[in-house]
Structure 1
Amino acid sequence: MSTLPGLLSWESVQERLKAIFPEGTPHRGYLTRDLAASTVFVALYIGAVEGSGIWLGPKHVYRFSDDQADMVSDDQRMGYASQVMKAGGRAPGTQWYQDTTREPIRDETLREALVVVGAAIERQDIPTTSSKPRYALQAGFAELFDPNLVGEKLDSATGAWQSKTLNKGALARIAIVRGGAGSAGDSLSVTFPNGETRRMKPGPSSEITKAVIEVFAPRFMGEPAILFVSESGNKVVSRDDALAKSVGLTIKADKDLPDIILVDLAPEHPLLVFAEVVATDGPINARRKKALEDLANDAGFPLEHVAFLTAYLDRSRPSFKKTVDSLAWGSFAWFSAEPDHLMELSDGKRSRLI
């Protein structure tokens, strides 16, 4: 009877990785990309699982090949584990990766991803300079790749492993991203700082808008109030002209109005926050920031009491990666999946938000 783990196809390993580490998981890119699937596949192939006494090194991964993957007897699998670590050792056929892939496998896939989230362990009884293999899959994680574990049993086992292993912050971030991926139903209820509620069309942008109003505002503002909120199609959800005039701001129908205008009434001179919501595109870039500065200037609102915010669902999403290099200096970025943190793109001037 085989003592080695059962083997899924490489493609199935990657599918399960994407389910185990859904959107919102920290380091998700490193945990689900091709290199991660290859690393987990090879670890299972050679039996590098916690408690087995067998350890994985980057060389096991980058020297692997399709020809080797077809050799599935215990002797062939164990033979590869030992012979590839010898000088000149390699698998038959074309190896999966160049030898220069050693660092990305070791640093990004293993140390910064699988080990960090508890999916892999690193042996501590050898010097850090040793070339000996030092990694293994955590036992419970390896069990999630059992070919006989399918359907509801797989879903249940995956959920149990996530709850037991991933930290509370990671689990909360996953839950927020899942919830904000798209709303169901006819409308979304948003509760304003004064206790009033408004209805918005469901969707990712509305979810982020809701988070800015209900989560960001009370966390980062002393006495938050909402002056203006819009949604897709330029439909005004809320507009408080009386409050705006009380703080010296005149809101005019303008193509340059942001998605949300907030004001913090706690400081002696109120702080105005222009916020853009990004589900796909449209951050506060340099051009947009200048337009909003002009809007504040035209209303007679001093720029030293103005802040600019781009709000996203999560920094692992394509929408952030696509727009991060265009964010304006002197502005902020906030992610509803990590609500306690605020990213500042400092232009060297003192900020009013932090």
Structure 2
Amino acid sequence: MTLPALSSWTEIHSRLPVIFPEGQANREHSIWEIAAKTIFVMLYVGAIENADRWIRPDQVTRMTDDQAAQTDDGARDGWAVASIKPSKADVAGRWYAVNTRESIRDDTIRYALIQNGAVIERPGLPTTSPAGRYALQAGFAELLAPGLDEAAFHAKATAWREKHLSVGALARIAIVRKGATRGGEYELVTFPNGETRRMSPGASTDISKAVIEVFATKFLEKPGVIALSESGNKVVARDDELAKAIGLTIPADKSLPDIVLVDLGPAHPLMVFIEVVHTDGPVNDARKTALLQIAEGAGFAPDHVAFVTAYLDRASATFRKTVSSLAWGSYAWFASEPDNLIVFSGQPLPIEGGTDFDARRNEAGTAGRNART
């Protein structure tokens, strides 16, 4: 068998961020050095779909720079056979320690490269088998061929994603890419009642637009916008009449969050405070306490108030940076995955029978009915 042409692991490493752009699930572990070296080893031994050659994660740990430089077929075939044999001898210059094989198997292969369509698993192989079980998907391997010019590579990468990624995955990538762009003089945001407002273009505006146009309609029964601000606390819109109708006094200072929504569907309205986070400023414990005081001043019990931190994407560095500070009893929402909420529950057990927003609306409705009887 003729082995495939081989790119260096550094060349593979440089291509992975293009193949797996921002918004890709488990992107971090799909593009890091370990992923590039794992893919290199698969190419080195010819472990590609339909070739009936497979690798084990411990083979990645056994590769060395000296071996990787030996690229003739004889050296590659010889190493493929030798590297899979049990051995207690130390490997001088090995890429990774022996005990990293589980991390390579789980973090990089199973939960990143397989889930993103780049790697396939050998069918019918018992879990306890010592045989190799992983290989590159054939179309993905073609993206790593040496000598591809930049235009051809980008075209092939785009075609591969469209063929092998789900509609949801492609939509997520598109949303995140849009959030990273700039252009135009303003962004037009459409409110639930059909009114529109202009906002300065940028990533924070993209998140705010998604909150108003998508989040509000998905998670609230009859949504209304009480206040909307841009970064720098510039007020884009405030509805004093709606605020007055529910007993809320909108402070003139900077104490309100980026967005205040209200759900007028329940008998007792649900107020939703939302912080839009592109760089910093989530709903932490101190922020939640301050906002709760504003809500209680308007007669809203804690059960009728929700706190949401809105991000562009779950894989973003911003979310990883701020997630540990998010307040219990609050939510995280992502424009790139609009159908889902992360609930930081302050309850000892999860609420069954719908989302926590559903539960809050039900409680608000019960409270309203009790007040009338």
Bin for the TM-score computed over the shorter chain: over 0.9
- C-alpha contact 2:219 2:357 (8 A) present in aligned 1: no
- Map Cα deviations across residues 3-56 of structure 1 (whole Å, 9 max, x no partner): 212122222101211111101001111111111111001111111101112111
Tell me the CA shift for residue 301 of structure 1: 2.8
Alignment correspondent of 1:193? 192
- Map Cα deviations across residues 306-341 of structure 1 (whole Å, 9 max, x no partner): 110000000100000001111000011100000000
- Map Cα deviations across residues 104-141 of structure 1 (whole Å, 9 max, x no partner): 11112111121222211111232110111111001111
Alignment of structure 1 residues 1-354 onto 2, 5 Å: 3-88=2-87, 93-348=92-347, 351-353=356-358
CA distance in 1, matches of 2:88, 2:179: 48
- C-alpha contact 2:62 2:91 (8 A) present in aligned 1: no
Q: After alignment, is 297-306 or 169-178 more displaced?
A: 297-306
**TM-score, normalized by length of structure 1?**
0.96
CA distance in 2, matches of 1:332, 1:87: 49
CA distance in 2, matches of 1:328, 1:297: 18
CA distance in 2, matches of 1:259, 1:340: 21
- C-alpha contact 1:311 1:336 (8 A) present in aligned 2: yes
Tell me the CA shift for residue 91 of structure 1: 9.3
Tell me the CA shift for residue 298 of structure 1: 2.4
- C-alpha contact 2:261 2:272 (8 A) present in aligned 1: yes
The residue type equivalent to 1:155 in the other structure is H
Count of residues in Structure 1 that have an aligned counterpart in Structure 2: 353
CA distance in 1, matches of 2:357, 2:159: 43
Cα-Cα RMSD: 1.6
- Map Cα deviations across residues 179-221 of structure 1 (whole Å, 9 max, x no partner): 1113312111111111111111111111100000001000000
- C-alpha contact 2:12 2:40 (8 A) present in aligned 1: yes
Tell me the CA shift for residue 92 of structure 1: 6.4
Give unmatched runs, 5+ long, in structure 1. Answer: none
- C-alpha contact 2:248 2:297 (8 A) present in aligned 1: no
Q: Please state whether the residue corresponding to 2:148 is helix, strand or coil.
A: coil
CA distance in 2, matches of 1:158, 1:59: 29
CA distance in 1, matches of 2:261, 2:169: 29
Tell me the CA shift for residue 89 of structure 1: 7.8
Q: After alignment, is 330-339 or 105-114 more displaced?
A: 105-114
CA distance in 2, matches of 1:39, 1:90: 22
- Map Cα deviations across residues 286-321 of structure 1 (whole Å, 9 max, x no partner): 000001011112233332211100000001000000
**TM-score, normalized by length of structure 2?**
0.91
CA distance in 2, matches of 1:330, 1:126: 45
Question: Aligned pair in 2 of structure 1 residues 45, 90: CA closer, same or farther (>3 Å)?
Answer: farther
The residue type equivalent to 1:84 in the other structure is S
- Map Cα deviations across residues 82-112 of structure 1 (whole Å, 9 max, x no partner): 1011122889640000000110111121111
- C-alpha contact 2:16 2:31 (8 A) present in aligned 1: yes
Q: Please state whether the residue corresponding to 2:178 is helix, strand or coil.
A: helix
CA distance in 2, matches of 1:31, 1:238: 41
- C-alpha contact 1:224 1:263 (8 A) present in aligned 2: yes
CA distance in 1, matches of 2:106, 2:5: 27
Alignment correspondent of 2:364? none
CA distance in 2, matches of 1:19, 1:98: 29
CA distance in 1, matches of 2:130, 2:111: 19
Q: Percent identity?
A: 54
- C-alpha contact 1:307 1:353 (8 A) present in aligned 2: no
Q: After alignment, is 318-327 or 148-157 more displaced?
A: 148-157
The residue type equivalent to 2:23 in the other structure is G
- C-alpha contact 2:65 2:95 (8 A) present in aligned 1: yes
Tell me the CA shift for residue 264 of structure 1: 0.6
CA distance in 2, matches of 1:196, 1:147: 53
Q: Please state whether the residue corresponding to 1:236 is helix, strand or coil.
A: strand
CA distance in 2, matches of 1:213, 1:183: 20
Q: After alignment, is 122-131 or 159-168 more displaced?
A: 122-131
